[in-house]
């Protein structure tokens, strides 16, 4: 009798056979030698039977190109002159299965023709060893039945793995690049392979096959823990909505840990994913929920956004890894590109926001508002000309003021950023005649602090354009020129004196940084520090802030018509678009604010603790305001084979019924009625007498959003902003609805929330169209306003 270990080493296969597709006769010869040998072992014979079955099937598909042969050569071990490596039967089986796996992935072989097992590769390969004359003992099963012709992958593969010696198990840390590639392929293909149905009855299986299936079940269970697939393994995780939506916080040391979801104020409305700053912590969501949270990275995604979404449990993916992401922070796209955004996804731009993001179009829109309403109401923008179209007009104005102090003009490219191409001029021959530029009257009397000119970067967030809702962050940045200001004409070429951009002034040796958000030192302050400084100098800061709010609201309204038309034409659902604007504002010597420009992609790079403090808190509150929800699996997995999915509680996932949607006939009648009579104050107040399901969805969204505002302040709509409705090019029903709702419940918000919640409990907000006649506008008109749900007080009162 020969020891099993020594016998295995006598029948090793050179690696060169694997690396050469023309060695098929050699494999046939090797099988014959093993079969005819008096000392053969059933395990080795079965192994080679399975190997050659694979090769035979592979030869039948030779008409297909092997596109991965070059890469395959990097995965298979190589022979060197100094060391002749050999493969034992089990190692040969592993390498051939690796090749089969790769050919399936590259579509060189059709999967359904060769796969009949749920696992191709073991969890780890058996380490390749060189031939040695020393005794080598390895446990090999003594009884193995020959596999059927249908089985390509030998079940002895998993047996060799499961009966590996302790020496092999100790080699986990030495797994090389080949093994990492194999494990990656197994992880990616596990979901598909699990769909193969095995219909064989228990009577047709021998003891070895039954043992093999038990082992494969363990492998399957392990793969489910790490796979991104939606399989039944997740059903073992308990998802308790009550616990996940609890408002209770636990404390670890000095840190409060909050729930990973923000509960809605209303019943039957799904929760929102919570985001936190680096000083806060949240409870990780269960794996089935976290697997749905993917954030698409782009070339311009700021690190401050990346770190914030990572803390919330999102997984970062590239555009090549799929389209099942929830959010992204990327460049502005052309309007037709927005059509590809799914209902549950969010992108950080509106189609058409360049109408205020470009300097030339910003002026065109504000100039139009001045012509329609009056220059006095839109006097926060300096006199501006867009060249070359306005060249003759500019020349005439320039000649009229050539001898005055107002002869300074600033030239800007219409679509530049970071101070590029900006110059201050005082002579007509310095103005380009053909190149497109924006020429603006230079504010020669700016408010100075310590002799330095400065501007303010304000962060304005717009989560919706219809209805229009605008939020202003309570902090920002004050950016100083790094050289003291002079009104002398000779200094106009000094960019460090006249420009406040950080990207310009950081190159000045006189520039000083500021790492303290509360300090008034250096050339960059926080906005809160600036307000505190101005208050000490008896500046009416409250009045300045109100003027800034007025400036922001009117500027955004000036582009509202463009944005709404493009959004309606190119976006499936208004939920999917939102935008952060960076407003640059400068004060003159009388502390009157002027708009400098609007950035649709404001810089979020954080180069100092001051930047991190301001921008980090702002991004966290913005993402909480935006309202990301866990998507429904059916929305994500819309194609491919049907997968077994662990059910997620409906109360935790995205529900499109809660969001604004198409209008019913009854709702269209109500919209038309109030849009045509919005100037009648008495009629406007009746808009709340009957709340249709669509009205409820808008109000619920608005109240929930307001509750998550954090350090943002909603500046439109408020109980004081009804005066801005006249600036809209077209009366919008939702703007009227919110204006009247907020005016009525501004001092009694709890009462309004309780009213909405009473309807949510009855699921009125989910109806489309309305089923309850008490929430039908046409029915209300027929009954002359006698609705069964009206409050006891007079509905025409404003609740004050």
Measured CA to CA, the distance from residue 597 to residue 583 in angstroms comes to: 6
pLDDT value at 310 more than 50 = yes
Mean pLDDT, rounded, for 237-255? 78
**CA distance from start to end of the chain:** 102
Longest dimension (CA), the chain: 115
Helix (H, G, I), strand (E, B) or coil at 294: strand
* Mean pLDDT of all residues belonging to the chain: 77
Helix (H, G, I), strand (E, B) or coil at 502: helix
Instruction: Tell me the per-residue pLDDT of 451-498, one tens digit each, with 9 for 90 and over.
Output: 999 999 999 999 999 999 999 999 999 999 999 999 888 888 899 999
Buried b (16+ CB within 10 A) or exposed e, 135-149: ebebebbeebeebee
Instruction: Tell me the per-residue pLDDT of 534-553, one tens digit each, with 9 for 90 and over.
Output: 999 999 999 999 999 999 99
Q: Which residues on neighbouring strands pair with residue 459, listed in sequence order?
A: 582
Percent of the chain residues past pLDDT 90, beyond the cut: 51
- The CATH superfamily holding the domain 354-626 is ATP-grasp fold, B domain (3.30.470.20)
pLDDT value at 770 more than 70 = yes
Tell me what pLDDT residue 105 has: 62
Residue in this structure with the two tokens 């823990």, named with its chain if needed: 225
Contact (Cβ atoms closer than 8 angstroms) between residue 155 and residue 204: no
Mean pLDDT, rounded, for 27-35? 58
Tell me what pLDDT residue 254 has: 78
pLDDT value at 784 more than 90 = no
Instruction: Tell me the per-residue pLDDT of 162-185, one tens digit each, with 9 for 90 and over.
Output: 333 333 333 333 333 333 333 333
Tell me what pLDDT residue 489 has: 86
Kindly state the tokens that stand for 216.
């494969």
Query: In Å, what is the CA distance from 627 to each residue of 79, 344, 616, 723, 761?
Result: 58, 10, 18, 29, 21
Alpha helix ranges (H) inside 245-401: 287-290, 303-311, 354-357, 359-373, 391-400
pLDDT value at 81 more than 70 = no
Q: Which residues on neighbouring strands pair with residue 597, listed in sequence order?
A: 584
Mean pLDDT, rounded, for 749-759? 96
Tell me what pLDDT residue 168 has: 36
Tell me what pLDDT residue 279 has: 87
Tell me what pLDDT residue 90 has: 66
- Highest mean pLDDT: which of 39-48, 61-70, 742-751? 742-751
Element (H, E) at 459: strand 452-465
Tell me what pLDDT residue 151 has: 36
Element (H, E) at 550: helix 541-558
Paired sense of beta strands 294-296 and 250-252, if any: unpaired
> Out of 220-224, 401-405, 633-637, which region has the weakest mean confidence (pLDDT)?
220-224
Tell me what pLDDT residue 27 has: 57
Nearest to 666 by CA among 638, 694, 633, 624: 694
Domain residue extents for the chain: 4-227, 354-626, 660-782
Instruction: Tell me the per-residue pLDDT of 354-364, one tens digit each, with 9 for 90 and over.
Output: 999 999 999 99
Q: What is the pTM of this model?
A: 0.71
Instruction: Tell me the per-residue pLDDT of 118-156, one tens digit each, with 9 for 90 and over.
Output: 344 444 444 444 443 344 333 333 333 333 333 333 333
Burial class (CB in 10 A: 0-12, 13-18, 19+), 671: buried
Give the confidence band of 9 by pLDDT, cuts at 50, 70, 90.
Answer: very low
Tell me what pLDDT residue 202 has: 37
Measured CA to CA, the distance from residue 376 to residue 447 in angstroms comes to: 22
Tell me what pLDDT residue 95 has: 73
pLDDT value at 557 more than 90 = yes
Tell me what pLDDT residue 121 has: 44
**In this structure, how many other beta carbons lie within 10 angstroms of the beta carbon of residue 402?**
12
Percent of the chain residues past pLDDT 70, beyond the cut: 67
Question: DSSP string of 151-217?
Answer: --S-THHHHHHHT--HHHHTTGGG--HHHHHHHHHHHHHHHHHTT------GGG--HHHHHHHHHHH
């Amino acid at each position: 009798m020969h020891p099993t270990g020594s016998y295995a080493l006598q029948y090793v296969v050179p690696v060169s056979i694997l690396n050469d597709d023309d060695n098929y006769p050699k494999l046939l010869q090797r099988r014959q030698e093993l079969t005819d040998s008096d000392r053969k072992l059933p395990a080795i014979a079965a192994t080679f039977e399975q190997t050659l079955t694979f090769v035979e099937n592979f030869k039948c598909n030779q008409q297909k190109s092997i596109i991965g042969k070059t890469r395959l050569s990097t995965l298979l071990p190589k022979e060197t002159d100094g060391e002749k490596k050999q493969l034992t039967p089990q190692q040969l089986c592993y390498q051939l299965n690796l090749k089969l796996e790769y050919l399936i992935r590259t579509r060189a072989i059709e999967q359904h023709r060769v796969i009949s097992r749920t696992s191709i590769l073991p969890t780890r390969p058996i380490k390749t060893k060189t031939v040695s004359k020393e005794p080598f003992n390895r446990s090999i099963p003594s009884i193995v039945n020959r596999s059927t012709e249908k089985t390509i992958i030998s079940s002895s593969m998993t047996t060799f793995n499961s009966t590996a010696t302790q020496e092999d198990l100790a080699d986990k840390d030495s797994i090389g690049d080949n093994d990492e590639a194999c494990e990656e392929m197994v992880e990616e293909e596990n979901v598909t392979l699990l769909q193969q149905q095995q219909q064989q009855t228990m009577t047709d299986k021998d003891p070895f096959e039954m043992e093999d299936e038990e082992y494969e079940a363990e492998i399957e269970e392990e793969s489910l823990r790490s796979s991104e697939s939606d399989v039944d393994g997740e059903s073992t995780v308990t998802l308790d909505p009550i616990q996940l939506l609890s408002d209770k916080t636990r404390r670890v040391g000095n840190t409060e840990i909050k729930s990973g979801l923000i509960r809605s104020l209303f019943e039957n409305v799904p929760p929102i994913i919570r985001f936190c700053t680096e000083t806060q912590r949240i409870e990780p969501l269960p794996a089935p929920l976290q697997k749905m949270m993917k954030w698409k990275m782009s070339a311009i995604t700021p690190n401050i956004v990346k770190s914030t979404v990572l803390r919330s449990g999102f997984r970062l993916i590239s555009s090549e890894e799929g389209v099942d992401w929830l959010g992204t922070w990327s460049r502005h796209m052309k309007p037709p590109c927005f059509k590809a955004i799914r209902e549950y996804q969010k992108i950080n731009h509106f189609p058409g926001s360049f109408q205020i993001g470009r300097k030339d179009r910003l002026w065109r829109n504000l100039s139009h508002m001045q012509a329609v309403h009056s220059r006095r109401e839109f006097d926060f923008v300096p006199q501006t000309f867009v060249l070359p179209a306005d060249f003759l007009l500019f020349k005439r104005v320039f000649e009229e003021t050539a001898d005055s102090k107002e002869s300074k003009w600033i030239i800007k490219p219409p679509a530049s950023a970071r101070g590029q191409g900006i110059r201050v001029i005082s002579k007509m021959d310095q103005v380009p005649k053909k190149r497109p530029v924006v020429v603006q009257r230079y504010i020669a009397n700016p408010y100075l602090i310590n002799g330095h000119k400065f501007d303010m970067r304000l962060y304005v967030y717009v989560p919706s354009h219809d209805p229009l809702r605008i939020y202003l962050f309570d902090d920002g940045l004050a950016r100083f020129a790094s050289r003291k200001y002079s009104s002398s004409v000779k200094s106009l070429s000094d960019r460090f004196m006249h420009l406040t951009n950080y990207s310009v002034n950081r190159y000045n040796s006189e520039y000083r940084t500021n790492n303290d958000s509360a300090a008034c030192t250096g050339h960059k302050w926080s906005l809160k520090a600036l307000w505190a400084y101005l208050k000490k100098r008896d500046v009416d800061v409250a009045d300045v802030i109100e003027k800034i709010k007025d400036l922001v609201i009117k500027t955004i309204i000036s582009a509202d018509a463009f944005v709404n038309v493009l959004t309606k034409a190119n976006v499936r659902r208004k939920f999917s678009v939102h935008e952060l604007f960076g407003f640059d504002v400068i004060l003159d010597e009388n502390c009157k604010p002027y708009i400098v420009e609007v950035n649709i992609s404001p810089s979020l790079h954080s180069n100092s603790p001051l930047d991190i403090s301001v921008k980090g808190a702002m991004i966290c509150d913005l993402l909480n305001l935006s309202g990301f929800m866990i998507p429904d699996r059916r929305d994500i997995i819309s194609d491919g084979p049907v997968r077994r999915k662990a059910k997620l509680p409906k109360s935790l996932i995205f529900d499109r019924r809660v969001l604004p949607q198409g209008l019913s006939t009854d709702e269209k009648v109500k919209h038309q009625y109030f849009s045509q009579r919005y100037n009648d104050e008495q009629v406007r107040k009746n808009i709340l007498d009957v709340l249709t399901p669509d009205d409820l969805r808008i109000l619920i969204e608005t109240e929930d959003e307001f509750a998550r505002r954090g350090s943002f302040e909603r500046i439109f709509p408020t109980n004081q902003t009804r005066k801005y409705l006249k600036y809209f090019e077209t009366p919008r029903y939702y703007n009227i609805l919110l204006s009247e709702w907020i005016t009525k419940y501004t001092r009694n918000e709890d009462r309004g929330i309780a009213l909405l919640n009473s309807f949510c409990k009855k699921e009125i907000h989910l109806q489309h169209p309305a089923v309850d006649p008490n929430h039908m506008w046409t029915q209300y008109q027929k009954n002359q306003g006698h609705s069964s749900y009206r409050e006891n007080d007079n509905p025409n009162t404003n609740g004050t």
